[in-house]
Amino acid sequence: MGICDNRTIIITGAGGGLGRAYALGFAAEGAKVVVNDIRQEAAAKVCEEIEANGGEALANSDDITSVAGASKILEAALGRFNEVHGVVNNAGVCRDKMFATMTEEDWDQVMQVHLRGHFCLANVLTRYWRERSKAGEPVNARIINTSSGAGLQGSIGQSNYSAAKAGILGLTLVQAAELARYGITANAIAPQARTSMTEGVFDEMMKAPEDGGFDSWDPANVAPLVVWLGSSASSHVSGQVFEAKGGWISVADGWRTGPEKDKQERWQPAELTEVVDGLLAEAKPAQKVYGT
């Protein structure tokens, strides 16, 4: 018996890296998995791994960046497994450049895959789950979004990626607040692991230990948290952001109203230097932008 028995989960970008680790992790806990990836052969290979271990999986390469493509993913999942209980929005791309040299195409491609990709599939699924809820059927659904340390604190050379990942955090909070009434939770993860997106940048830092010791950068280390978030056991958790790496898990402490001062009337610009400096002196400093 696994904690995801009789559940069906869609995972995007699941042909390798973190997505593959999630797919294998869910399958090991009894879930039926829709392995979505634009690389059809990679998706099929992950399905073969799952099926070789006695699991059930469906390879899919439909487009996550359009509602039409997302609808096809849902249709395929229902056609094969009759139900969908959760989605892990994992697919992503990087187009790293310093802000001064970033192009419009660099910006748009990252926003398309990350933010629009997160919206389309979750929106299609939410409409499906809402209809079931309104019909009086029990819904115990999960949206698991993927942010990053770049979204939490920023990253030099990744203004597009950082902005997209920060947007996903805001999206997650609103999803959690709006969708609870339908039996849907929404959480986000900020994983740290060795994947194709880190190749060439963090190769030395993230390489596996030569002595055979614990590989803290292995994507499989993040999978248990994601699998738990996709299970029925996590029904009481929503609107949270988790960082994960190796055996380390943290709940991110997000934006909140900090030190304050109210004059009870309009401020004059010349007054604000002293006021703002005083507030900043009381405030807890933000984490430094990665790379500074």
290 is a catalytic site residue: no
Q: Which candidate in 148, 155, 159, 162 is catalytic?
A: 148
Distance of CA 56 to the CA centre of its chain: 23
CB 189 within 8 A of CB 242: yes
Strand order in the sheet with 57-60: 57-60, 32-36, 8-12, 86-88, 141-146, 184-191, 241-245, 248-251
Q: Which candidate in 71, 128, 147, 161 is catalytic?
A: 161
Cα dihedral 195, 116, 165, 243 sign: negative
148 is a catalytic site residue: yes
Through-space distance between the first and last CA atoms of the chain, rounded to whole angstroms:
47
Q: Which candidate in 61, 165, 231, 234 is catalytic?
A: 165
The residue written with tokens 């402490």 in the block is: 253
The residue written with tokens 């699941």 in the block is: 14
Backbone angles phi, psi at 71, to 5 degrees: -65, -35
Distance CA 92, CA 217 (A): 18
CB 169 within 8 A of CB 254: yes
- Which stretches within the chain are classed as H helix? 17-28, 40-52, 67-81, 104-111, 117-134, 149-153, 159-179, 203-206, 223-229, 272-282
165 is a catalytic site residue: yes
Active site positions, annotated = 148, 161, 165
